Chain A
Amino acid sequence: MKIILNKKEYEVSQYKLKDWLISEEIREKILDSAKEGKIDSVCNNVFSYIEKAIFTEIPQNLPWYDVAQAFMSISNLNVPNLIPILLGKISSKREAWEYDGRLWFMWANSFAQCYGYTLEYIAQMEVNDAIPLLQEIALQKQFDREWQWSLTEIAYPYNEASHRSEFHALARPDWMQISLKPLAPPKKKRMPKDAMPMGLVIGMNDVISE
Chain B
Amino acid sequence: MLSLNEAAQLYVAIKPFMPLERKVTPLDFMQQMVDNILKSGNDDDYLAIISILQQVSPETVAEMPPAEIIPIFMQGMVDNKVYDLIDFFERLGL
Contact = CB atoms under 8 A, between A and B. Distances in A.
A31 B7 contact: no
Which 7 A-B residue pairings sit nearest by Cβ, starting from the closest?
A: A64-B7, A63-B1, A34-B93, A34-B94, A64-B4, A39-B8, A68-B88
A61 B7 CA distance: 11
A65 B5 contact: no
Nearest to B92: A34
A103 interface: no
A92 to B, nearest CB: 13
B3 A39 contact: no
Given A31-B92, A39-B9, A204-B84, A64 B2 contact: yes
Nearest to A46: B4
B42 interface: no
Given A34-B92, A67-B4, A68-B84, 11 more contacts: A30-B92, A35-B93, A39-B8, A39-B9, A46-B92, A60-B4, A62-B4, A64-B6, A65-B80, A195-B23, A204-B88
A182 interface: no
Interface in A99-156: none
Interface of B: 1-9, 12, 23-26, 80-81, 83-85, 87-89, 91-94
B5 A43 contact: yes
Nearest to A50: B4
A31 B2 contact: no
B93 A47 contact: no
Interface of A: 30-31, 34-35, 37, 39-40, 42-43, 46-47, 60-65, 67-68, 72, 192, 194-195, 203-204
A37 B8 CA distance: 10
Contact of B12 (A35, A39, A60, A63): A39
A39 B1 CA distance: 18
**Dominant SS among interface residues on chain A:** helix
Contacts of B87: 203-204
A111 B79 CA distance: 50
A155 to B, nearest CB: 41
Contact of A61 (B3, B91, B92): B3
6 contacts: A31-B93, A34-B89, A43-B5, A64-B85, A65-B81, A194-B25
Contacts of B91: 72, 204
Contact of B2 (A30, A37, A63, A203): A63
B3 A63 contact: yes
A204 B88 CA distance: 8
Nearest to B7: A64
Contacts of A204: 84, 87-88, 91
A205 to B, nearest CB: 9
Given A192-B23, A195-B26, A40 B84 contact: no
A68 B5 contact: no
